[in-house]
Amino acid sequence: MKNKYSIFSLIKNAFSQHENWKQAWGDPEPKTEYEAIIIGGGGHGLATAYYLAKKHNMRNIAVLEKGWIGGGNTGRNTTIIRSNYLWDASAGLYDHALKIWENLSQELNYNIMFSQRGVMNLAHNLQDVRDLKRRTHANRLNGIDAVWLNTDQVKEFCPIINTSPDIRYPVLGGTLQRRAGTARHDAVAWGYARGADEMGVDIIQNCEVKGIKRNGDKVEGVETSKGFIKTKKIGVVAAGHSSVIANMAGIKLPLESKPLQALVSEPVKPIIDTVVMSNAVHAYVSQSDKGELVIGAGTDAYVSYTQRGSHDVVEGTLKAILELYPIFSRMKMLRQWGGIVDICPDASPIISKTNIKGLYFNCGWGTGGFKATPGSGDLFAHTIANDEPHKLNAAFNLNRFVSGDLVDEHGAAAVAH
């Protein structure tokens, strides 16, 4: 590795006041032709390029990003990583990702600050209790760690939660996945970008795709703000803008794009050392290494590309947070933002070929794509390189909306959509 990061390189560079670190990835102009083009330089897109180069030896490829890498949903999510999904197909997909997360810092030689601090999902009514217990059993049958906690155990695991039976939605228990946790979102994008760049992948920022050129049922290239680029394979990883790209190619996707909001508080000393999510009241919270509370709110219930989100959604989330954590009542919120999430009718992603030869889509991650970043990139790279899905993403094909073989994770995914 041309610029390997280690304690020794840190010491060596300290002597030159850290002024001689090499650029982690280049800023190339696009070539006229590539073997494959990835549209979208977020975590999923960069991971796809990284695995295409690393595992499938495709080095003459480019990632096109209309803004800067990691500036879309990769930089706008609440960085929660877990794999406690109900259905077998989802469990396989998300646990594949979690296993890669566990060694990713070493693999990339880049500290992605992966922290397995555990994710706890709360139950507030009897149906929640039944659903979450069922999910715990399903997880364990799939080899995913999961335990059911009663109210006292919830309190013991996270003492600041208000477990009084007198609140509007009392805590009746919860599930805990100890292998779950968080990672540093920017570092994930940067680590993959650096790894891909080193293997010869061109990462082209400020390059917006304006059109997809088709010849009958094959792709021929992409029209971009930096001119036309020829290619036989296009992998679209454009998150909320997937339908916009699909429209350029003349196909329709089963997606609706909606703003999803998150917010962070002023930084405080360590107060919550895990991630707590609540489906019923829609509030989830963790604490960043900087000390800010990271709070995830809900989506607006209508299509919008505004990257803002409505005030009443944030208000609803904060009401729930305050009832569950009265200790936060005087915290000030510092920043609020929205990202555009593409939601599938069954709340599961699409990692699939299309009817057009050479056109592949990785989309529909909805409100929970960050956790899947490494697995998504690995499986999408496999799909593009072999023109066939890997067995772990076979169920997540586009044809399931025709066959009816949906992977319905709406209620089961442990977060309301």
Partner 1 sequence: MFLINCPYCGERDQSEFSCGGEAHIVRPKQPTELSDDEWAEYLFMRKNIKGVQFERWNHAHGCRKWFNMVRDTSNDKIHAVYKMGEKPPVE
Match 């010849």 to its residue by tokens: 215
Interface residues with partner 1 (CB under 8 A) are 241, 243-244, 247, 252-257, 301-306, 308-312, 342, 345, 401-404
CB of 312 to partner 1, least distance (A): 4
CB of 344 to partner 1, least distance (A): 8
CB of 259 to partner 1, least distance (A): 10
Residue 88: CB atoms within 10 Å: 13
Distance, in Å, from the CA atom of 303 to the CA atom of 254, rounded to the nearest integer, reads 13
CB of 58 to partner 1, least distance (A): 30
Distance, in Å, from the CA atom of 396 to the CA atom of 375, rounded to the nearest integer, reads 13
Distance, in Å, from the CA atom of 143 to the CA atom of 387, rounded to the nearest integer, reads 29
Of 131 and 342, CB closest to partner 1? 342
Residue 267 has, within 13 A of its CA and on its CB side, a CA count of: 4
Residue 59: CB atoms within 10 Å: 15
CB of 41 to partner 1, least distance (A): 19
Nearest to 187 by CA among 115, 119, 237: 115
Residue 412 Cα to chain centre, angstroms: 18
Residue 326 has, within 13 A of its CA and on its CB side, a CA count of: 4
Give the pair of three-digit tokens for residue 220: 């021929």
The single-letter DSSP state of residue 357 is B
Which backbone phi and psi does 107 adopt, to 5 degrees? -60, -40
CB of 130 to partner 1, least distance (A): 28
CB of 240 to partner 1, least distance (A): 9
Distance, in Å, from the CA atom of 92 to the CA atom of 81, rounded to the nearest integer, reads 14
